[in-house]
Structure 1
Amino acid sequence: MLKARTNHTSAILNGEIYVIVDVVEVECYDPYNKSWCAISPALKYVSNFTAAGCLGKLYLIGSCAVKYNALTLQCYNPVRDLWSVITSPFIPKYLSAPRCASLHGLIYLIGDNTKKVYVYDPEANIWQKVQLLRQKGCSTVAWG
Protein backbone atom coordinates (compact mmCIF):
# COMPACT_ATOMS: atom_id res chain seq x y z
CA MET A 1 0.00 0.00 0.00
CA LEU A 2 1.05 3.61 -0.26
CA LYS A 3 1.48 3.74 3.53
CA ALA A 4 1.23 1.16 6.30
CA ARG A 5 -2.26 0.89 7.78
CA THR A 6 -4.34 -0.94 10.36
CA ASN A 7 -8.10 -1.14 10.92
CA HIS A 8 -9.06 -1.60 7.31
CA THR A 9 -11.30 -3.67 5.10
CA SER A 10 -10.79 -4.77 1.54
CA ALA A 11 -12.89 -5.75 -1.45
CA ILE A 12 -12.36 -6.92 -5.02
CA LEU A 13 -13.86 -4.88 -7.84
CA ASN A 14 -13.19 -5.28 -11.56
CA GLY A 15 -10.05 -7.32 -10.89
CA GLU A 16 -8.53 -4.74 -8.53
CA ILE A 17 -8.19 -4.74 -4.74
CA TYR A 18 -9.67 -1.80 -2.86
CA VAL A 19 -8.57 -1.10 0.71
CA ILE A 20 -10.58 1.26 2.92
CA VAL A 21 -9.27 2.50 6.26
CA ASP A 22 -11.29 3.85 9.16
CA VAL A 23 -10.77 7.47 8.17
CA VAL A 24 -12.43 6.55 4.85
CA GLU A 25 -9.24 6.88 2.86
CA VAL A 26 -9.26 4.46 -0.05
CA GLU A 27 -6.44 2.88 -2.04
CA CYS A 28 -6.65 0.63 -5.06
CA TYR A 29 -4.17 -2.05 -6.13
CA ASP A 30 -3.90 -2.99 -9.80
CA PRO A 31 -2.34 -6.47 -9.95
CA TYR A 32 -1.56 -6.16 -13.67
CA ASN A 33 0.55 -3.02 -13.21
CA LYS A 34 1.60 -4.08 -9.68
CA SER A 35 0.88 -0.59 -8.36
CA TRP A 36 -1.17 1.18 -5.70
CA CYS A 37 -3.00 4.47 -6.15
CA ALA A 38 -5.15 6.65 -3.90
CA ILE A 39 -8.74 7.23 -4.98
CA SER A 40 -11.36 9.65 -3.77
CA PRO A 41 -12.20 9.21 -0.07
CA ALA A 42 -15.69 8.13 0.95
CA LEU A 43 -18.09 10.97 1.76
CA LYS A 44 -19.00 10.02 5.34
CA TYR A 45 -16.72 8.86 8.11
CA VAL A 46 -17.71 5.39 9.28
CA SER A 47 -16.44 3.00 11.90
CA ASN A 48 -17.03 -0.71 12.27
CA PHE A 49 -17.26 -1.12 8.49
CA THR A 50 -17.09 -3.60 5.63
CA ALA A 51 -17.04 -3.39 1.85
CA ALA A 52 -17.91 -5.44 -1.23
CA GLY A 53 -17.66 -5.00 -4.97
CA CYS A 54 -20.94 -5.61 -6.79
CA LEU A 55 -22.17 -4.89 -10.32
CA GLY A 56 -19.13 -2.75 -11.13
CA LYS A 57 -19.33 -0.57 -8.02
CA LEU A 58 -17.79 -0.63 -4.54
CA TYR A 59 -20.19 -0.58 -1.57
CA LEU A 60 -19.07 0.58 1.88
CA ILE A 61 -21.30 -0.25 4.85
CA GLY A 62 -20.49 1.00 8.33
CA SER A 63 -21.64 2.73 11.48
CA CYS A 64 -22.28 6.41 11.03
CA ALA A 65 -20.14 8.58 13.30
CA VAL A 66 -23.09 10.85 14.11
CA LYS A 67 -25.51 8.11 15.16
CA TYR A 68 -23.58 5.04 16.31
CA ASN A 69 -26.47 2.56 16.09
CA ALA A 70 -27.30 3.44 12.49
CA LEU A 71 -25.56 2.04 9.45
CA THR A 72 -24.74 4.10 6.41
CA LEU A 73 -24.33 2.82 2.86
CA GLN A 74 -21.96 4.51 0.43
CA CYS A 75 -21.25 3.56 -3.18
CA TYR A 76 -18.13 4.22 -5.27
CA ASN A 77 -18.34 4.37 -9.06
CA PRO A 78 -14.80 3.74 -10.39
CA VAL A 79 -15.68 4.93 -13.90
CA ARG A 80 -16.64 8.38 -12.60
CA ASP A 81 -14.30 8.30 -9.53
CA LEU A 82 -17.30 9.41 -7.51
CA TRP A 83 -18.80 8.39 -4.15
CA SER A 84 -22.48 8.72 -3.26
CA VAL A 85 -24.45 8.11 -0.08
CA ILE A 86 -27.35 5.76 -0.69
CA THR A 87 -30.55 6.14 1.27
CA SER A 88 -32.49 2.93 1.28
CA PRO A 89 -35.59 1.66 3.05
CA PHE A 90 -34.98 -0.77 5.89
CA ILE A 91 -31.24 -0.32 6.21
CA PRO A 92 -30.17 -2.63 9.06
CA LYS A 93 -29.31 -1.26 12.49
CA TYR A 94 -25.86 -1.47 14.06
CA LEU A 95 -24.00 -4.77 13.63
CA SER A 96 -20.86 -5.67 15.55
CA ALA A 97 -17.93 -6.55 13.26
CA PRO A 98 -20.03 -6.62 10.09
CA ARG A 99 -18.84 -8.56 7.07
CA CYS A 100 -20.30 -8.65 3.61
CA ALA A 101 -19.90 -10.53 0.37
CA SER A 102 -21.35 -10.18 -3.09
CA LEU A 103 -22.98 -13.03 -4.94
CA HIS A 104 -25.08 -12.93 -8.14
CA GLY A 105 -25.59 -9.16 -8.02
CA LEU A 106 -26.63 -9.05 -4.35
CA ILE A 107 -24.71 -8.02 -1.22
CA TYR A 108 -25.04 -10.19 1.89
CA LEU A 109 -24.38 -8.53 5.25
CA ILE A 110 -23.67 -10.46 8.46
CA GLY A 111 -22.81 -9.24 11.96
CA ASP A 112 -21.18 -11.25 14.72
CA ASN A 113 -23.47 -9.93 17.46
CA THR A 114 -26.62 -11.46 16.02
CA LYS A 115 -27.77 -14.38 13.96
CA LYS A 116 -29.19 -11.94 11.47
CA VAL A 117 -28.25 -11.91 7.82
CA TYR A 118 -29.38 -9.17 5.45
CA VAL A 119 -29.32 -8.97 1.68
CA TYR A 120 -29.13 -5.78 -0.35
CA ASP A 121 -30.23 -5.57 -3.96
CA PRO A 122 -28.39 -2.57 -5.51
CA GLU A 123 -30.59 -2.52 -8.61
CA ALA A 124 -33.81 -2.30 -6.58
CA ASN A 125 -32.20 -0.38 -3.66
CA ILE A 126 -33.90 -2.71 -1.19
CA TRP A 127 -32.66 -4.39 2.02
CA GLN A 128 -34.31 -7.58 3.24
CA LYS A 129 -33.73 -9.85 6.20
CA VAL A 130 -32.70 -13.37 5.20
CA GLN A 131 -34.61 -16.12 6.97
CA LEU A 132 -32.43 -18.73 8.65
CA LEU A 133 -33.49 -22.34 8.45
CA ARG A 134 -32.08 -24.98 10.78
CA GLN A 135 -31.72 -28.57 9.67
CA LYS A 136 -30.57 -31.55 11.64
CA GLY A 137 -26.81 -31.44 12.01
CA CYS A 138 -26.23 -28.20 10.08
CA SER A 139 -27.46 -24.72 9.41
CA THR A 140 -28.54 -23.61 5.99
CA VAL A 141 -29.68 -20.28 4.77
CA ALA A 142 -32.72 -19.79 2.57
CA TRP A 143 -32.22 -16.77 0.32
CA GLY A 144 -35.39 -14.96 -0.44
Structure 2
Amino acid sequence: MNLSEAIVIIGGCDKKGLLKLPFTECYHPKSGQWTTLSSMPGYTKSEFAATTLKNNIYISGGHINSSDVWMFSTQLNSWIKVAPLSKGRWRHKMAILNGEIYAIGGFDGVKRLSTVDRYNSFTNTWSPVTPMLEAVSSAAVVSCMNKLYVIGGAVEDYGNTDKVQCYDPEADAWTYKTPSPFSQRCINAVELDGLVYVVGGLLSTIFCYNPKTDVWSEVACLPGALESCGVTVCGGKMYILGGRDENGEGTENAFVFDPKTGIVAAEPPLQRCTSYHGCVTILHRT
Protein backbone atom coordinates (compact mmCIF):
# COMPACT_ATOMS: atom_id res chain seq x y z
CA MET A 1 0.00 0.00 0.00
CA ASN A 2 1.39 3.38 -1.02
CA LEU A 3 0.90 6.15 1.52
CA SER A 4 1.37 9.83 0.84
CA GLU A 5 0.53 13.07 2.61
CA ALA A 6 -3.04 14.22 2.07
CA ILE A 7 -5.17 17.03 3.48
CA VAL A 8 -8.45 16.32 5.26
CA ILE A 9 -11.23 18.93 5.42
CA ILE A 10 -13.67 18.26 8.27
CA GLY A 11 -17.12 19.79 8.57
CA GLY A 12 -17.48 23.55 8.81
CA CYS A 13 -20.12 26.01 7.63
CA ASP A 14 -21.59 26.75 4.21
CA LYS A 15 -21.22 29.97 2.19
CA LYS A 16 -23.68 31.97 4.31
CA GLY A 17 -22.48 30.43 7.57
CA LEU A 18 -25.91 29.03 8.37
CA LEU A 19 -25.67 25.33 7.54
CA LYS A 20 -23.24 23.01 9.34
CA LEU A 21 -21.56 20.61 6.92
CA PRO A 22 -21.18 16.87 7.69
CA PHE A 23 -18.50 16.14 5.09
CA THR A 24 -15.07 14.65 5.74
CA GLU A 25 -13.03 14.82 2.56
CA CYS A 26 -9.46 14.01 1.70
CA TYR A 27 -7.44 15.95 -0.89
CA HIS A 28 -4.27 14.63 -2.50
CA PRO A 29 -2.29 17.66 -3.73
CA LYS A 30 -0.05 15.62 -6.04
CA SER A 31 -2.94 14.13 -8.04
CA GLY A 32 -5.55 16.81 -7.34
CA GLN A 33 -8.00 14.05 -6.44
CA TRP A 34 -10.61 14.12 -3.67
CA THR A 35 -11.72 11.10 -1.63
CA THR A 36 -14.84 11.01 0.53
CA LEU A 37 -14.30 9.72 4.06
CA SER A 38 -16.81 8.78 6.75
CA SER A 39 -19.02 11.78 7.65
CA MET A 40 -18.37 13.64 10.87
CA PRO A 41 -20.62 12.56 13.76
CA GLY A 42 -22.97 15.08 15.31
CA TYR A 43 -22.40 17.53 12.49
CA THR A 44 -24.30 20.38 14.12
CA LYS A 45 -20.80 21.47 15.12
CA SER A 46 -18.71 24.44 14.06
CA GLU A 47 -15.62 26.14 15.43
CA PHE A 48 -14.51 22.87 16.97
CA ALA A 49 -10.84 21.99 17.41
CA ALA A 50 -9.03 19.44 15.24
CA THR A 51 -5.60 17.84 15.32
CA THR A 52 -3.81 14.61 14.40
CA LEU A 53 -1.98 12.09 16.59
CA LYS A 54 -0.46 8.82 15.32
CA ASN A 55 -2.12 9.45 11.95
CA ASN A 56 -5.59 9.57 13.51
CA ILE A 57 -7.73 12.73 13.59
CA TYR A 58 -9.21 14.12 16.79
CA ILE A 59 -11.98 16.72 17.04
CA SER A 60 -13.39 18.23 20.22
CA GLY A 61 -16.17 20.59 21.21
CA GLY A 62 -18.04 22.40 18.48
CA HIS A 63 -20.83 24.18 20.27
CA ILE A 64 -21.39 25.79 23.65
CA ASN A 65 -20.68 23.37 26.53
CA SER A 66 -19.87 20.48 24.21
CA SER A 67 -17.25 18.23 25.77
CA ASP A 68 -17.45 15.46 23.15
CA VAL A 69 -14.20 14.20 21.65
CA TRP A 70 -14.12 11.96 18.58
CA MET A 71 -11.24 10.15 16.95
CA PHE A 72 -11.27 9.35 13.24
CA SER A 73 -9.36 6.12 12.63
CA THR A 74 -7.65 6.41 9.25
CA GLN A 75 -7.27 2.62 9.10
CA LEU A 76 -10.94 1.90 9.80
CA ASN A 77 -12.40 5.00 8.07
CA SER A 78 -14.70 5.44 11.06
CA TRP A 79 -15.25 7.84 13.96
CA ILE A 80 -14.81 6.53 17.52
CA LYS A 81 -15.88 8.40 20.64
CA VAL A 82 -13.10 8.78 23.20
CA ALA A 83 -12.94 10.32 26.69
CA PRO A 84 -14.69 13.70 26.88
CA LEU A 85 -13.06 16.99 27.81
CA SER A 86 -13.29 17.82 31.51
CA LYS A 87 -15.14 21.00 30.52
CA GLY A 88 -17.15 21.91 27.44
CA ARG A 89 -15.28 24.17 25.02
CA TRP A 90 -16.10 26.06 21.86
CA ARG A 91 -13.80 28.23 19.73
CA HIS A 92 -10.79 26.54 21.33
CA LYS A 93 -7.82 24.86 19.69
CA MET A 94 -5.88 21.62 20.08
CA ALA A 95 -2.20 20.98 19.45
CA ILE A 96 0.22 18.09 19.89
CA LEU A 97 3.21 18.35 22.21
CA ASN A 98 5.42 15.42 23.19
CA GLY A 99 2.89 12.88 21.92
CA GLU A 100 -0.05 14.29 23.88
CA ILE A 101 -3.01 16.47 22.86
CA TYR A 102 -3.56 19.84 24.51
CA ALA A 103 -7.00 21.47 24.41
CA ILE A 104 -6.52 25.17 25.02
CA GLY A 105 -8.78 28.09 25.90
CA GLY A 106 -12.08 28.69 24.14
CA PHE A 107 -15.50 29.90 25.22
CA ASP A 108 -18.15 28.21 27.37
CA GLY A 109 -21.08 30.45 26.47
CA VAL A 110 -20.44 32.82 29.38
CA LYS A 111 -16.73 33.55 29.50
CA ARG A 112 -13.42 32.97 27.73
CA LEU A 113 -11.38 30.14 29.19
CA SER A 114 -7.78 30.12 30.37
CA THR A 115 -7.89 26.43 31.27
CA VAL A 116 -5.83 23.79 29.46
CA ASP A 117 -6.41 20.02 29.36
CA ARG A 118 -3.93 17.37 28.24
CA TYR A 119 -4.96 14.03 26.70
CA ASN A 120 -3.03 10.79 26.96
CA SER A 121 -4.10 8.37 24.22
CA PHE A 122 -2.67 5.32 26.04
CA THR A 123 -4.88 5.84 29.10
CA ASN A 124 -7.71 7.66 27.25
CA THR A 125 -7.79 10.34 29.96
CA TRP A 126 -7.68 14.14 30.15
CA SER A 127 -5.88 15.96 32.95
CA PRO A 128 -5.47 19.69 33.68
CA VAL A 129 -2.20 21.58 33.33
CA THR A 130 -1.37 25.12 34.41
CA PRO A 131 -3.88 27.60 32.92
CA MET A 132 -2.86 30.33 30.49
CA LEU A 133 -1.94 33.79 31.74
CA GLU A 134 -4.91 35.24 29.87
CA ALA A 135 -8.20 33.64 28.79
CA VAL A 136 -8.73 33.68 25.01
CA SER A 137 -10.97 32.14 22.37
CA SER A 138 -10.49 31.80 18.60
CA ALA A 139 -6.72 32.19 19.02
CA ALA A 140 -4.00 30.59 16.91
CA VAL A 141 -2.34 27.66 18.71
CA VAL A 142 0.73 25.79 17.53
CA SER A 143 3.53 23.63 18.91
CA CYS A 144 7.09 24.55 17.94
CA MET A 145 10.51 23.77 19.39
CA ASN A 146 8.99 21.68 22.21
CA LYS A 147 6.74 24.49 23.40
CA LEU A 148 3.16 25.61 22.80
CA TYR A 149 2.35 29.07 21.47
CA VAL A 150 -1.05 30.74 21.82
CA ILE A 151 -1.24 33.80 19.58
CA GLY A 152 -3.84 36.55 19.75
CA GLY A 153 -7.50 35.64 20.11
CA ALA A 154 -10.61 37.21 21.59
CA VAL A 155 -10.56 38.41 25.19
CA GLU A 156 -14.11 39.82 25.15
CA ASP A 157 -17.01 40.08 22.68
CA TYR A 158 -15.49 42.99 20.75
CA GLY A 159 -11.92 42.96 22.00
CA ASN A 160 -8.89 41.00 20.79
CA THR A 161 -5.34 40.70 22.07
CA ASP A 162 -1.90 40.82 20.45
CA LYS A 163 -0.32 38.80 23.27
CA VAL A 164 1.70 35.65 22.62
CA GLN A 165 1.55 33.10 25.44
CA CYS A 166 4.16 30.33 25.54
CA TYR A 167 3.85 27.08 27.50
CA ASP A 168 6.93 25.14 28.61
CA PRO A 169 5.89 21.55 29.50
CA GLU A 170 9.06 20.93 31.52
CA ALA A 171 8.31 23.85 33.83
CA ASP A 172 4.51 23.48 33.46
CA ALA A 173 4.48 27.28 33.20
CA TRP A 174 3.40 30.05 30.82
CA THR A 175 5.33 33.17 29.82
CA TYR A 176 4.67 36.08 27.48
CA LYS A 177 6.70 36.50 24.29
CA THR A 178 6.97 39.44 21.89
CA PRO A 179 3.42 40.54 21.00
CA SER A 180 2.20 39.87 17.47
CA PRO A 181 1.97 42.77 14.96
CA PHE A 182 -1.82 42.28 14.94
CA SER A 183 -4.72 41.89 17.39
CA GLN A 184 -7.07 39.39 15.77
CA ARG A 185 -9.37 36.45 16.40
CA CYS A 186 -10.32 33.61 14.01
CA ILE A 187 -6.67 33.05 13.14
CA ASN A 188 -4.70 29.85 12.62
CA ALA A 189 -1.05 28.88 12.78
CA VAL A 190 1.25 26.11 11.58
CA GLU A 191 4.86 25.18 12.28
CA LEU A 192 7.25 24.70 9.37
CA ASP A 193 11.02 24.25 9.67
CA GLY A 194 11.14 25.71 13.17
CA LEU A 195 9.09 28.79 12.30
CA VAL A 196 5.46 29.67 13.05
CA TYR A 197 3.24 31.03 10.28
CA VAL A 198 -0.07 32.77 11.05
CA VAL A 199 -2.99 33.67 8.76
CA GLY A 200 -6.64 34.66 9.18
CA GLY A 201 -8.35 37.31 11.25
CA LEU A 202 -9.41 39.11 8.04
CA LEU A 203 -5.75 39.86 7.35
CA SER A 204 -4.35 39.54 3.86
CA THR A 205 -0.80 39.06 5.16
CA ILE A 206 0.99 35.87 6.21
CA PHE A 207 3.00 36.58 9.35
CA CYS A 208 6.02 34.61 10.58
CA TYR A 209 7.26 34.22 14.15
CA ASN A 210 10.75 32.92 14.94
CA PRO A 211 10.80 31.32 18.41
CA LYS A 212 14.61 31.34 18.51
CA THR A 213 14.86 35.10 18.09
CA ASP A 214 11.38 36.01 19.44
CA VAL A 215 10.89 38.21 16.35
CA TRP A 216 7.89 38.72 14.04
CA SER A 217 7.98 39.46 10.31
CA GLU A 218 5.68 39.67 7.28
CA VAL A 219 6.48 37.06 4.66
CA ALA A 220 3.77 37.14 1.97
CA CYS A 221 0.43 38.59 0.90
CA LEU A 222 -2.79 36.79 0.03
CA PRO A 223 -5.07 38.01 -2.80
CA GLY A 224 -7.66 39.02 -0.20
CA ALA A 225 -8.50 39.07 3.50
CA LEU A 226 -9.52 35.78 5.11
CA GLU A 227 -10.60 34.49 8.51
CA SER A 228 -11.53 31.08 9.91
CA CYS A 229 -9.68 29.37 7.06
CA GLY A 230 -8.20 25.89 7.16
CA VAL A 231 -4.41 25.86 7.47
CA THR A 232 -2.10 22.86 7.36
CA VAL A 233 1.37 21.80 6.21
CA CYS A 234 1.65 19.26 3.41
CA GLY A 235 4.71 18.44 1.33
CA GLY A 236 6.77 21.11 3.08
CA LYS A 237 4.32 23.87 2.09
CA MET A 238 1.53 25.73 3.88
CA TYR A 239 -1.99 25.24 2.51
CA ILE A 240 -4.67 27.87 3.17
CA LEU A 241 -8.09 26.45 2.37
CA GLY A 242 -11.53 28.07 2.42
CA GLY A 243 -12.46 30.58 5.12
CA ARG A 244 -14.61 33.70 5.17
CA ASP A 245 -13.93 36.88 3.23
CA GLU A 246 -14.44 40.53 4.25
CA ASN A 247 -18.14 40.22 3.31
CA GLY A 248 -18.58 37.41 5.83
CA GLU A 249 -19.15 34.79 3.11
CA GLY A 250 -17.49 31.41 2.92
CA THR A 251 -15.14 30.77 0.02
CA GLU A 252 -13.90 27.69 -1.83
CA ASN A 253 -10.56 29.34 -2.66
CA ALA A 254 -7.35 27.45 -1.92
CA PHE A 255 -3.78 28.74 -1.81
CA VAL A 256 -0.37 27.24 -1.18
CA PHE A 257 2.54 29.17 0.32
CA ASP A 258 6.11 27.99 -0.28
CA PRO A 259 8.37 29.43 2.43
CA LYS A 260 11.47 28.69 0.35
CA THR A 261 10.36 31.03 -2.45
CA GLY A 262 7.96 33.28 -0.52
CA ILE A 263 5.37 32.75 -3.27
CA VAL A 264 1.63 32.27 -2.73
CA ALA A 265 -0.01 30.32 -5.57
CA ALA A 266 -3.64 29.42 -6.24
CA GLU A 267 -4.67 25.78 -5.90
CA PRO A 268 -7.75 24.11 -7.41
CA PRO A 269 -10.80 25.18 -5.37
CA LEU A 270 -12.41 23.14 -2.62
CA GLN A 271 -15.46 21.00 -3.30
CA ARG A 272 -17.69 23.75 -1.83
CA CYS A 273 -17.52 27.02 0.09
CA THR A 274 -16.34 26.13 3.60
CA SER A 275 -15.35 28.04 6.74
CA TYR A 276 -14.85 27.25 10.43
CA HIS A 277 -13.76 23.76 9.39
CA GLY A 278 -11.13 21.34 10.60
CA CYS A 279 -8.05 21.05 8.39
CA VAL A 280 -5.27 18.52 9.03
CA THR A 281 -2.69 16.45 7.16
CA ILE A 282 -2.51 12.65 7.34
CA LEU A 283 -0.80 9.83 5.52
CA HIS A 284 -3.40 8.30 3.21
CA ARG A 285 -3.27 5.52 0.65
CA THR A 286 -2.94 6.67 -2.94
**How high is the TM-score relative to the length of structure 2?**
0.44
Q: Which of 22, 37, 43 is residue 127 of structure 2 equivalent to?
A: 37
Indicate the residue corresponding to 1:117 in structure 2: 206
Q: Confirm or deny: 8 A CA contact 2:160 2:185 kept in the other structure.
A: no
Distance 2:124 2:94 in 1: 17
Indicate the residue corresponding to 1:141 in structure 2: 257
Q: Confirm or deny: 8 A CA contact 1:77 1:83 kept in the other structure.
A: yes
Q: Secondary structure at the match of 1:37?
A: strand
Distance 2:207 2:161 in 1: 15
Shift of 1:96: 4.1
Answer with 96-105 or 116-125: which moved more. Answer: 96-105
List aligned pairs for 1:55-94, cutoff 5 A. Answer: 55-63=145-153, 65=155, 68=159, 70-88=161-179, 91-94=180-183
Answer with 53-62 or 41-50: which moved more. Answer: 41-50
- State the aligned residue count: 139
One-letter amino acid of the structure 2 residue matched with residue 27 of structure 1:
D
Task: Note if 1:2 corresponds to 2:118.
Answer: no
Q: Which of 81, 91, 95 is residue 11 of structure 1 equivalent to?
A: 95
Q: In proportion to residue count, which structure has more strand?
A: 1
Change (3 A) 1:69 1:35: closer
Q: Confirm or deny: 8 A CA contact 2:145 2:194 kept in the other structure.
A: yes
Shift of 1:140: 4.7
Q: CA RMSD in A?
A: 2.4
Q: Confirm or deny: 8 A CA contact 1:63 1:69 kept in the other structure.
A: yes
Structure 2 residue ranges without an equivalent (≥5): 1-84, 107-112, 224-253, 263-286
Indicate the residue corresponding to 2:115 in structure 1: 25
Task: Note if 1:99 corresponds to 2:191.
Answer: no
One-letter amino acid of the structure 1 residue matched with residue 189 of structure 2:
C
One-letter amino acid of the structure 2 residue matched with residue 130 of structure 1:
V
The percent identity for this pair of structures is: 32
Shift of 1:69: 5.1
Change (3 A) 1:13 1:133: same
Distance 1:139 1:6 in 2: 27
Change (3 A) 1:61 1:126: same
Distance 1:21 1:139 in 2: 28
